[in-house]
Amino acid sequence: MSGFLERMAAASLERVTETCAREPLTALRTRALATPLPPPLNLQDRFNLIAEFKRRSPLLGRIGDDDLVGRVTAYANGGAAAVSVLTELSQFHGNLDHLTAAASVLTPLAVPVMRKDFLVDPYQICEARACGASGVLLIIRMLSGTSLVEMLDCARELGLFVLLEAFDSDDIARAAAEVAVGVPERSIKFGRSAGTPRPDPGRGAQALRADPGRGAPAVLLGVNCRDLQTLEVLPRRFKEVANLLPRDFVWVAESGIATPDVCAEVAREGYELALVGSALMTARDPAGVIRTMLAAGRAAT
């Protein structure tokens, strides 16, 4: 694990310890399960976007504005399949109040919200559900095999979809080996020969329209092209690892998705979702940017 992830994991664990002292896991779990079921992830087309709200980036510093309600509403109006909300405080200036606020706006619009953070304990997944989230991001290399399974089990119990984040071939292999249990009744097949199209993306969308509380929720596999040492984005990584990705997962391209052309490129490689953050936070018309990106990605498929 990189120094950056180690620091984030340590800070995350410290926050869990402090919060758990105020509200024990049993009480939080009860409160989370009493929360109304959030909207499920529903992928309607061959290419979709997860739009992200974050106040700060470690690389870019402060980005965007503080108009969370206006921006996430614009994301929904632009056609985002889900909205990711950064809740990490030290590097991203986020908190759980942002997640709650986004969920309160988007739930009536049937747009799911995902908690994006450096999660290390099932307690934090319970927090996400209690705040109205429909999903969580889990970084594979931050979690041991036992911890990863425990986190997936917790998300499944609470009806939350999971975006598993991989950085390299080792992460992808772990996802295939340890997470196959999270994709019931679907055989995991590895790789594809050059020029071989992926199965109809509709199969992914159909299989992943799990209704939280009535079966296994979605487990997505994301590739983050950011170099963990320099924090530089390396878009070529999307293509480099595409042949390694289990083809029965829905693939998500993360980081460095800044233009419609990049959306088209990753769509041609077989990615069915792109997570877009900074490009939308700095856009004057985020809804229009989303529409343009979606159009480019869908045309490329």
End-to-end CA distance of the chain: 35
- How far is CA 163 from its chain centroid? 4
Name every residue whose Cβ is closer than 8 Å to that of residue 251 and which is 6 or more positions away in sequence: 220, 221, 222, 223, 242, 245, 270, 271, 272, 273
| CA gap 144, 106 in Å, rounded | 33
Total-model pTM: 0.87
Residue-number span of the structural domain to which 145 is assigned:
3-31+40-300
Q: What's the one-letter identity of residue 49? A: L
Specify the long-range contacts of residues 8-13, CB closer than 8 Å, at least 24 apart: 8/88, 8/91, 8/118, 8/142, 9/118, 9/120, 9/142, 11/90, 11/118, 12/88, 12/117, 12/118, 12/119, 12/120, 12/121, 12/124, 13/120, 13/121
Which residues of the chain, if any, have pLDDT below 50?
A: 181-214
Residue 246 sits at the vertex; the CA angle it makes with 1 and 170, to the nearest 5 degrees, is 20
Q: Which residues pair with 190 in a beta bridge?
A: 246
Q: What is the pLDDT of residues 173-231, one digit of tens each?
A: 999 887 754 443 332 232 333 333 443 433 333 333 344 344 567 899 999 998 877 77
Which ranges constitute the DSSP H helices of the chain? Answer: 3-22, 25-34, 68-78, 96-106, 122-130, 145-158, 169-178, 201-207, 236-241, 260-269, 278-281, 286-300
Residue appearing with tokens 């969920």? 103
Q: What is the pLDDT of residues 49-77, one digit of tens each?
A: 999 999 887 667 788 778 999 999 999 99
| CA gap 234, 227 in Å, rounded | 7
CATH number at residue 141: 3.20.20.70
With contact defined as beta carbons under 8 Å apart, do 92 and 63 qualify? no
Quote the pLDDT of residue 181: 45
Which DSSP letter does residue 196 get? Answer: P
Tokens of 22: 């105020």
Q: How many domains does one find in the chain?
A: 1
Quote the pLDDT of residue 194: 32
Quote the pLDDT of residue 203: 36
With contact defined as beta carbons under 8 Å apart, do 134 and 113 qualify? yes
How many other CB atoms sit within 10 Å of the CB of residue 72?
27
